[in-house]
């Protein structure tokens, strides 16, 4: 039985170079946008803000999801101590399985570990939605940088410990952009500048035969499985990413995530 099959069975049963200013720059906090219906009002990050909480994001995160994230953060912390892991992709087989809320929960927990600085990267080049979730005005971003149309990728400052790199727009060639040297270099630069780099990615189903690019994107992967996702679909998606890259699987609705040694 493969490790992937073992992890899914347990889940179902309950059982770097210096950062260069030309590629990454601080984005002024006053560009943070809070959207209220059709009205857009500027809201700056508070320089001396306290610990990151759900209020930082302006949305609610389920208590169960936060418990998952606390346990997964411990898995990630142990992997970082063992092998210097810093960049982590959040992946899933299909859309709507909770990747983004899992990433936000992990960010909240990780920023409280050793006062860590975390950057969130919206690399869901098929359908970027992080700006909507965080109520940030969308603008030219990571896709424009990767394509060479812009010389820099500019993080939005949400909090002194938390930054966001927006995708900017959907990509015409998402798999090619995810595998590009420009993105690889940017993530390497982020890893040199921040303690953790969390990367939101397209669902495996959106990339089809090119989904293996997700396994090469980061140091490791947290795989999120929706409660209604068929077993075989999740297993195929994990196999496409690569058994050795998956650090933990999280099945929505379970009390515990499943470590993936």
**Global confidence as pTM:** 0.79
Confidence label for 58 from pLDDT (cuts 50, 70 and 90): low
Lowest model confidence (mean pLDDT) among 74-78, 174-178, 228-232: 228-232
Q: Are 240 and 91 in contact (CB under 8 A)?
A: no
Percent of residues, the chain, with pLDDT higher than 90: 48
- Give pLDDT, residue 135: 84
Above 80 in pLDDT, residue 177? yes
Give the pLDDT confidence of 71-95 residue by residue, as tens digits. Answer: 999 999 999 999 999 999 999 999 9
Confidence label for 9 from pLDDT (cuts 50, 70 and 90): low
Identify which has the larger pLDDT, 204 or 34. 204
Contacts of 189 (CB under 8 A, 6+ apart): 16, 17, 19, 20, 23, 24
Q: What is the mean pLDDT of the chain?
A: 79
Above 90 in pLDDT, residue 227? no
Q: How far is the CA of 212 from the CAs of 139, 169, 229, in angstroms? A: 29, 22, 20
Contacts of 241 (CB under 8 A, 6+ apart): 91, 204, 211, 212, 214, 215, 221, 223
3-state secondary structure of 199: strand
Q: Per-domain residue ranges for the chain?
A: 3-27+64-259
Q: What residues form DSSP beta bridges with 118?
A: 162, 196
- Give pLDDT, residue 170: 94
CA distance 5 to 100: 25
Range 3-27+64-259 classified under CATH 3.40.640.10 = no
Q: Are 18 and 192 in contact (CB under 8 A)?
A: yes
- Give pLDDT, residue 57: 61
Q: Are 175 and 138 in contact (CB under 8 A)?
A: no
Confidence label for 236 from pLDDT (cuts 50, 70 and 90): very high
Contacts of 219 (CB under 8 A, 6+ apart): 83, 84, 85, 86, 87, 88
- Give pLDDT, residue 98: 87
Give the pLDDT confidence of 97-145 residue by residue, as tens digits. Answer: 889 989 999 998 999 888 899 999 999 999 998 988 888 888 889 999 9
Lowest model confidence (mean pLDDT) among 21-25, 102-106, 154-158: 21-25
Lowest model confidence (mean pLDDT) among 7-16, 32-41, 129-138, 183-192: 32-41
What token pair was written down for 152?
């820099």
Which DSSP symbol is given to 18?
A: P
């Amino acid at each position: 039985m493969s490790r992937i099959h073992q992890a899914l069975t347990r889940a179902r049963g309950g059982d770097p170079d210096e950062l260069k200013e030309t590629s990454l720059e601080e984005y002024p906090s006053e560009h943070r946008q809070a959207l209220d219906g059709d009205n857009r009002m500027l809201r700056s990050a508070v320089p001396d803000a306290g610990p990151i909480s759900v209020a930082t994001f302006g949305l609610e995160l389920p208590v169960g999801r936060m418990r998952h994230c606390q346990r997964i953060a411990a898995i990630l912390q142990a992997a970082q101590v063992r092998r210097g892991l810093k960049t982590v992709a959040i992946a899933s087989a299909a859309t709507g399985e909770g990747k983004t809320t899992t990433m936000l929960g992990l960010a909240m927990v990780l920023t409280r570990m050793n006062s860590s600085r975390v950057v969130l990267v919206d690399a869901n080049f098929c359908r970027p939605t992080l700006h909507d979730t965080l109520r940030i005005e969308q603008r030219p971003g990571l896709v424009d940088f990767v394509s060479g149309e812009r010389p820099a990728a500019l993080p939005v400052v949400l909090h002194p410990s938390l930054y966001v790199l927006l995708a900017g727009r959907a990509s015409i060639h998402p798999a090619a952009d995810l595998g590009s040297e420009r993105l690889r270099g940017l993530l390497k630069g982020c890893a040199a500048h921040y303690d953790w780099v969390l990367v939101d990615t397209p669902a495996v189903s959106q990339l089809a035969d090119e989904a293996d690019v997700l396994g090469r994107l980061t140091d490791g992967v947290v795989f999120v499985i929706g409660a209604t996702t068929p077993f075989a679909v999740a297993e195929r998606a994990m196999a496409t990413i690569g058994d050795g890259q998956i650090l933990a699987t999280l099945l929505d609705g379970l009390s515990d995530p499943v470590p993936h040694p």
